[in-house]
Amino acid sequence: MKELNLVCTKCGIVHSIKSTYFRCQSCGEPTEVEKIEHGKIKTKNPLRQNIMERYQEFLPFKEIDSALSLGEGFTPLVKGYKTSKALELNDVYFKNESQNPTWSFKDRGTLLGIQHALKLGYKRIGTVSTGNMAVSVAAYGSKAGFETFIFVKNDLAPEKLNPIAIYNPHLIKVDGDYGKLYFKSLEIGNKNDIYFINSDVPFRVEGSKTIAYEICEQLNFDMPDYVIVPTSAGGNIRGIIKGFDEFKSAGLINKIPRIVCAQASGCSPITNGFIKNHKSIERIENPQTIAHGIENPFPPSGNEVLRQLEEKNGLCISVDDESILKAQKLLASDGIFGQPASAVPVAAIEKLKKQKILKGDEKIVCIVTGSGLKYTAAFERHNLRHYNTTIDDLEKFVADKF
Ligand SMILES: Cc1ncc(COP(=O)(O)O)c(C=O)c1O
Ligand SMILES: [Zn+2]
């Protein structure tokens, strides 16, 4: 495989892959690994492969260190019978990313990020996160023996803080604008030899490509009509689009599904830009949504997501908190407990159906990005019930009550 470079997503200027130029040195937009035009899936026993081994020809690594893997990816694609029926659709599928080692899709990109960091000789890695990415980088950093720096928001709840702290990173709560922290960390990383695996850096995007690859394989290359992705920084959706694109170039699929970028109404900078037909996003001043996982007020890949949606005829939609909570219950009726951010695609389907963009006969894949157990505060927003009785009364209670 030829050596691939990092290319600016906007102006196309080339940067060395041996660098950590994650933003273009000329225009400031995100860089990405050059697109791979030809490749093949390594069709060995998938039970004995990790994602880097199976999709190596689509990834920028000649050599891979499988000892870094925690068994990420190869997550289930489950048909949502109840959701399909409730929303009057034939075929709704859930790509259940809560089945990853740290219970979210982030593990795919973390693995590829640390593979790159190791290749460049780094001993320190870091990230800026509100939760899922922090947990993921802390876990993989610990396993691989990196000195790991995690910057989180000052007001992060203990239920989110301790699952990061358990892996023993340098965990630092930072008071200040979360949007600025992303850029600040890249600066700190350059000065202190810390490889920051932030939300949309090129190797995180490479990791998300494998979600698209797996969907293709799981549907036997019979492509869905829509793939709906809850979006914040924009790294995941970029990777998914790139993955489908590369499989199409390789001749493995003949169409790319229509991609829907789904956001929460309380923080929807990309949807706002999309609706106004703008080329760049504007910062949201007071973001507020139950879907905390997708609450980035100034997504670093927002402009690139707008470019991709325009080029690929994608869609962008935002949904309110009430519909997100309703969707979380609907998802649970199909046996999957996703966090509010992960229920956003289901709420998006309902809205697209009301708007008559969806007719009912489409095949739709929702990316369920992370586990519901990550955000137990959402329980308070549901009217969850249980009963009490004694062991002596239990038999009668069950007979009388149900
Ligand atoms: C659960 C969940 N869903 C979706 C996203 C959005 O991914 P991205 O920031 O790559 O757009 C995140 C990111 O933090 C997340 O934690
Ligand atoms: Zn550029």
Quote the pLDDT of residue 7.
Answer: 97
Give me the percent of the chain exceeding a pLDDT of 90. Answer: 92
Sign, Cα dihedral of 256, 262, 268, 272: positive
**Tell me: the pLDDT tens digits for 266-316?**
999 999 999 999 999 999 999 999 999 999 999 999 999 999 999 999 999
Ligand nearest to the CA of 95: 1
The pLDDT of residue 157: 80
pLDDT at 3: 76
| Rounded mean pLDDT, 66-79 | 98
Kindly list the distances between the CA atom of residue 398 and the CA atoms of 384, 385, 386, 402, in Å, as whole numbers in the listed order.
Answer: 19, 16, 13, 6
Whether the predicted pLDDT of 59 surpasses 60: yes
In this predicted structure, the answer to whether residue 179 has a pLDDT above a threshold of 80 is no
Cα 247 to averaged position of ligand 1 atoms, centre (Å): 23
**Ligand 2 centroid to 30 CA: how many Å?**
8
CB environment 255-273: b (16+ within 10 A), e (fewer): ebbbbbbbbbbbbbbbbbb
Q: What pLDDT was estimated at residue 160?
A: 87
Mean pLDDT score, 68-75 = 98
Counting from 1 in the atom list of ligand 1, the atom nearest the Cα of 370 is 1
Give the mean pLDDT of 321-336.
98
Q: How confident is the model at residue 178 (pLDDT cuts 50, 70, 90)?
A: confident
pLDDT value at residue 379? 94
Check residue 1 and give its pLDDT.
52
State in Å: Cα 389 to ligand 1 middle.
42
Taking the C-alpha atoms of residue 299 and residue 283, their distance in angstroms, rounded to an integer, is 8
pLDDT at residue number 156: 85
Q: What is the CB < 6 Å shell around ligand 1?
A: 104, 132-133, 199, 230-237, 293-294, 339, 341-342, 369-370
24-33, 175-184, 292-301, 312-321: least confident range: 175-184
393 confidence band (pLDDT: 50, 70, 90): very high
pLDDT tens readout for residues 191-229: 999 999 999 999 999 999 999 999 999 999 999 999 999
How far apart, in whole angstroms, are the C-alpha atoms of residue 169 and residue 176? Answer: 21
Q: What is the mean pLDDT of residues 1-22?
A: 90
**Residue to mutate (ligand 1; options 197, 232, 268; most atoms within 8 A of CB):** 232
Q: Half-sphere exposure of 192 toward its Cβ, with a 13 Å CA cutoff?
A: 14
Using the mean position of ligand 2's atoms as its centre, give its distance from the Cα of residue 148 in Å: 29
> pTM (2 decimals)?
0.97
| pLDDT at residue 177 is higher than 90 | no
Average pLDDT, the chain: 96
Write the pLDDT tens digit of every residue in 96-151: 999 999 999 999 999 999 999 999 999 999 999 978 999 999 999 999 999 999 99
Instruction: Identify the pLDDT of residue 2.
Output: 58
Query: Mean pLDDT, to the nearest integer, of 160-172?
Result: 96
Q: Are 210 and 217 in contact (CB under 8 A)?
A: no
The label of the residue with tokens 């102006």 reads 11
CA 181 remoteness from chain centre: 20
Question: Closest Cα to atom 15, ligand 1: which residue?
Answer: 293
